[in-house]
Amino acid sequence: MLNLITSLQDAIVQATQNYYRLVVLAGAQGSGKTAALRQLANAEKYPLLNVNLELSRKLLDFSRTQRTEHVERQFRELLLGCPGPVVLLDNIEILFDTALQIHPLRLLQACSRNRTLVAAWNGVCTAESLTYAEPGHPEHLSLTQLKASDVILLSPATDRSQPRKVSAS
């Protein structure tokens, strides 16, 4: 766990030099993403946002059809309410809800222009791809050509957990 925390800290420093200041911590459910983010939040005093809980509260004020129009703005408002230059995002599954009609990675990238975001992503990252959910799942997403900019990927599954840039194609 200490190696992962150190890798996250290094990735946050590295991200400040990128166009999109986004770090994705990708791993399966139960792989230690939440524990790592909590430990990092405590050590560095970064805010830790439970996206599912907070965003769903904000979206309750809208009808199902209105949610697609307001989800991005509501997400941005949540981030604006967090102090500091770094925000840790856990439980981001709501961003993959197909009814909301958003592209989760693009939203995270857009919101990471002026502050560093570290997002726990339920899925798998390799040198070539980033995947969310299992194939056949309605929210399955496989990104093999990340187009907007670099994204720093980490995985709690490997002891080495070295930050890797996935270059834009």
Which residues of the chain have a pLDDT value below 50?
A: 147-148, 159-169
Instruction: Specify the pLDDT at position 151.
Output: 83
Neighbours of 18 (CB within 10 A): 18
CB-count burial class (<10 Å; 0-12, 13-18, 19+) for 80: exposed
65, two tokens: 């059809």
| C-alpha torsion 143→11→163→7, nearest 10 | -130
Would you say the C-alpha torsion 121, 125, 129, 131 has a positive or negative sign?
A: negative
Q: What does 32-78 look like in DSSP terms, one character per residue? A: SHHHHHHHHHHHHT--EEEHHHHHHHHHTTS-HHHHHHHHHHHHHHH
Instruction: Specify the pLDDT at position 145.
Output: 67
Instruction: Specify the pLDDT at position 76.
Output: 97
Chain CA centroid to CA 154, Å: 11
Evaluate whether 91 touches 72 at the Cβ level (below 8 Å): no
Instruction: Specify the pLDDT at position 169.
Output: 33
Domains of the chain and CATH, by start: 2-166 (3.40.50)
Instruction: Specify the pLDDT at position 36.
Output: 95
12, two tokens: 């946050």
Instruction: Specify the pLDDT at position 128.
Output: 67
Neighbours of 8 (CB within 10 A): 26
The pLDDT tens digits for 48-62 are 999 999 999 999 999
Contacts of 166 (CB under 8 A, 6+ apart): 125, 127, 128, 130, 146, 150, 151, 153
Residue 1 C-beta-side C-alpha neighbours within 13 Å = 10
Q: Using CA atoms, how far apart are residues 135 and 138, in angstroms rounded to an integer?
A: 8
